[in-house]
Amino acid sequence: MMITPVHRTRDIERKPEYLQPEKCVPPPSRASLGTMWFIRDGCGIACAVVTWMLVFYADFVVLLVMLVPSRDYVYSVINGTLFNTLAFLALASHFRAMLTDPGAVPKGNATKEFIESLQLKPGQVVYKCPKCCSIKPDRAHHCSVCKRCIRKMDHHCPWVNNCVGENNQKYFVLFTMYIALISLHALIMVGFHFLYCFEEDWTKCSSFSPPTTVILLILLCFEALLFLIFTSVMFGTQVHSICTDETGIEQLKKEERRWAKKTKWMNMKAVFGHPFSIAWLSPFATPDQGKADPYQYVV
């Protein structure tokens, strides 16, 4: 099908040098879409490594400073199992959020042949991103770090070294939730341990020296309090964005709603899967969200 003069290709930044489709590289094959997603960003990789190190530090203090020296075996087993389970789920969620394609639009697909294959209707406008040379679907935004247009992009998070978008928002929400839970759990255990040490001999409440024990506990308390506040706020904003079906970028830019309004429950199921089950809380369960084909670009 030949594009008639009534078909329009609109560049979002209106830079004439990007408007020639012949300058775009053909889109990747469908087979290449199955490759692992990983952003090679130095800052993001450093933040991701720091995140894992902070979780391992918290686990070290909880186990070797507070639980192992405790004389209450039941207390140690219950809290150790609970803390390590939540920590494992937090790191698994972080891993999935970091290595899951957030909904990237195939790069360089704004070629003349591809535009013709869309079989556009007369007068229909197709938006093209001049930065990654791709046909831009509705509600997609370009990320300067990922160097791709991302469907329903909420924001780019350096702590997971990835964008939070259509495909990985569930894992990001679970990551913030589990980090907030282990932070709260750590704060409660630190409080109980300080009370226990004040009542007992400090040399008997930890396998480390009293000054070392105090320093380790204070550092853990500071870390847990900081991340409890940060991740709780992030978790709340993400849930609010899901319920309102409006991404962080759309809220910031106050974009006009051009999509159908759905109930909060339908929006939650669109992110976490349908129907409601324990799989909503699992970072290993991939929600069946019925996403559109990545090559469908009718705007």
Q: Which residues pair with 151 in a beta bridge?
A: 140
Count of Cβ atoms closer than 10 Å to residue 208 Cβ = 17
What letter would DSSP give residue 274? S
Integer Cα distance of 58 and 216 in angstroms: 9
Report the helix count and the strand count for the chain, using DSSP H and E: 7, 7
Annotation says 43 is catalytic: no
Do you know the residue count of the chain? 299
Cβ atoms of 172 and 164 within 8 Å: the answer is: yes
Integer Cα distance of 153 and 165 in angstroms: 4
Query: Annotated catalytic residue: which of 143, 157, 163, 197?
Result: 157
Integer Cα distance of 266 and 290 in angstroms: 13
Integer Cα distance of 158 and 145 in angstroms: 10
Pairing state of beta strands 125-129 and 134-136?
antiparallel
DSSP helix, strand, coil percent of the chain (3-state; round to 5) = 50, 10, 40
Integer Cα distance of 57 and 220 in angstroms: 8
Would you please indicate which residues are annotated as catalytic (active-site) residues? Answer: 157
